[in-house]
Amino acid sequence: MRLFKFLILAVFLFSLTACLGSGSEKSSVDDDTRVMTELTAGDDGAVSYSGSGDFFGFGIVASDAGLAGRKIYIERAESQYSVNGYKAVSDLFSIRFYKDRAADEESFDAEITIPFSASAVAAEGASPGDVNICMLLDDMVIPASAVSDGTSVTASAKIPYDLFACLKDDVAISENSTIILKGYSHKDADNDNEYLTDKNGTLLPDVIRGINHVQAGENVRLGYNKEAFGENISDAEWVLSDKPSGSAASLSADGTDRLIQPDMNGIYTVTLNLTGINGKSTAESIKLVAMNYSYRASTGTAQCLDYCHTGTFSLAQLDQYGRAKLRDIVSVWGASSHASAFSVVAGETDTSCLQCHTTGFFYADRDKNGTDDHPAVSGFDDTITNWTDPADTGDTHLRGVTCEACHGPGADASLTFAESHYSDVSLNSGVCLTCHEHENISGHFFEYSDTHDKAHTLSNGTVAKNAECFRCHTGEGMMSRIFGADLTPADVDTVTGIGCAVCHDPHGESGFSSLLRLSGSFQFETADGTYTADAGKAKLCYSCHNSDTVLPAVGTIPHNSTAEMYEGIGGYDYGNDLSDKKSWHALRGLECVDCHMQTEDGLTHNMLMTHDTDARLTTCYTSTCHTGTSPEFKNGYFEVESSMQNIRGQMDELADLINEKSGLPEGSAIRASYTADTAELTNALNRAAYNYNFILGDKGYGFHNQSYTRSLLGLSLADLGSY
């Protein structure tokens, strides 16, 4: 299933033929490639199922008294590209009982048949006889010996499982770091009632920044990246292999994660020993550095703000994105909202505000005796001289969100520069969410979804390893594109998703509003030439949510055509001028965020339109928008005066016509291309199929641009209907 479910869900009904012991079935389809059906096993526990339509070629044969009368759900969805050494050459078929496997651990033997793509097999240089069936159990891949007939593969397997047709992947996978630093947000701490109490008795969420430079008394959470290891893990051993002399710090378990709380300044080394189910093993270490917050007496500032990052030195060293490492960051940061964050709480007596509007406010009273256990770290709370007037009596160099608020403290005379200085900073959202995920206050995004943070994983948690996925599905790949670098998966030690710092520049170097990395015009390459859109803030969204190819491209299935649909380009127009079919919303200057980030309560970073729909719909009821034709949300989709229902009806009509003219069973999935008896009919089928898949690839079923969608459907129906 595609990772970016950028818009709405829609549900259709379709037919499916099955032969059950004495059962029944019903089925449905959602907004992208997911297809679902429900079966009921016979009273004798027998299941004999042969799919049609979207399930053509898929089959289950099983017989077990324990299956008697049980409901079986089957879902078909796009499979991930690669899973732990096996490449998918079919869609993913998920088989579940009425109770999921976590609640009901029974499994049953079954003979499974899965249709696969012969062209995908050939593209890998393999033959149909090389195809197996892979079963997924959580993160474990279990290949099953199979027999192939050239277009499908049959094997003895287990249900309930996720299954797909697979090839052993002999391509070398780049080695990435397996240890990852994890954050624990303001909202997480609130929900779990994890607090520290400061000198004024104020409860302060015990957040974790997800960085390796911390102050004494601050927690660090460590986890491991199973996908980077490259094999399913059978054993993980964590060892605190080194720590400062006199430290009593230790590792504590939290599921598969480990927590450590440095108790004095110095370097802590944690080693992870991993063993895989096939015998692979590795040992990796991470260094955690506990230090004080810095201060340079001669300038009255934190040491980060002097010399190195002011543009004073013109060294040729570049970071991985091609930017000068010692460029001037200080001056642009100084004009940002992070630098001026203290100004809105000056004179504030509520110390909970100071946790985010200053640097180093972390009152580490771990033994709950009313005093800070580590007052010498010199954070803002350690410099307050009058706790009845805390904001105005803390040191001025720690006011605002300075470098060390996000990168961690950086002063310790006992450590060398190489030991104490930060390495490349992660793009994960952990440090941002310690402040930006609480309260319904501007700048405090109380509602956040980690959908984009997980963009580097696919449906079963596999890191996107191939170059095409890497460009949009990883923070490092996206940053590489923004700055014109040429990173590949092999160039990156730790791969992350699309975190806050990918879309937003925390230093403010871009100069765009909301600290956006990109804004302005966006260019599409089309068959008719370059099309330039005045995208504004949507340029950031367009950069990934487009097909990334020259359209129209008849004979292909566009991967993601949302941006093109919104601009009214990319469809096959049959020689007609559709240049006036730009989205109604786009013509009125509305951008992606105007709908996807607006709710009744204000800004949200949960961008799925199916979330909190009632609150979202209230933003449509404005004097300039839908005053008399207010949209509704029903049956899994947004609707305006039945227009969407009409579009879905046209799509069903076109799909039926394509299957009819191609001689395929009713309900068959629409392919990229067809071969008919004549060249003329072949071309007509491929034109119609392209427009169908172009609209499907938008994932909005026309909601992004109803006029353009109707035009494309009408032209395709008329053209194909003439043959």
| pLDDT-based confidence at residue 20 (cuts at 50, 70, 90) | very low
Show me where the domains of the chain are located. 19-168, 179-438, 552-588+614-721
Q: What are 527-574's pLDDT values in tens digits? A: 999 999 999 999 999 999 999 999 999 999 998 899 999 999 999 999
Taking residues 305-324, report their average pLDDT.
82
Confidence (pLDDT) at 26: 30
Question: Smallest Cα–Cα separation from 210: which of 12, 429, 443, 394?
Answer: 429
Q: What's the CATH code, domain 19-168? A: 2.60.220
Taking residues 440-451, report their average pLDDT.
64
CA distance 330 to 304: 9
Sheet-wide strand order for 46-50: 19-20, 46-50, 59-63, 108-115, 152-159, 146-148
Helix/strand/coil percent split, the chain, to 5: 25, 25, 50
Other beta carbons within 10 Å of 646: 14
Whether the pLDDT of residue 664 is over 60: the answer is yes
Confidence (pLDDT) at 454: 65
Share of the chain above pLDDT 90, in %: 49
Q: What are 104-149's pLDDT values in tens digits? A: 457 788 999 999 988 888 877 788 888 888 887 654 567 776 788 8
Confidence (pLDDT) at 631: 65
Contact 302, 296 (CB under 8 A): yes
| pLDDT-based confidence at residue 637 (cuts at 50, 70, 90) | low
Taking residues 85-89, report their average pLDDT.
78
Residues pairing with 522 in the sheet = 533
Q: What are 259-298's pLDDT values in tens digits? A: 999 999 999 999 999 998 888 899 999 999 999 999 887 7
Taking residues 698-706, report their average pLDDT.
87
| pLDDT-based confidence at residue 673 (cuts at 50, 70, 90) | very high
pTM, two decimal places: 0.74
Cite the DSSP H helix spans in 347-493. 351-357, 380-383, 390-393, 403-407, 417-420, 430-433, 467-473, 475-482
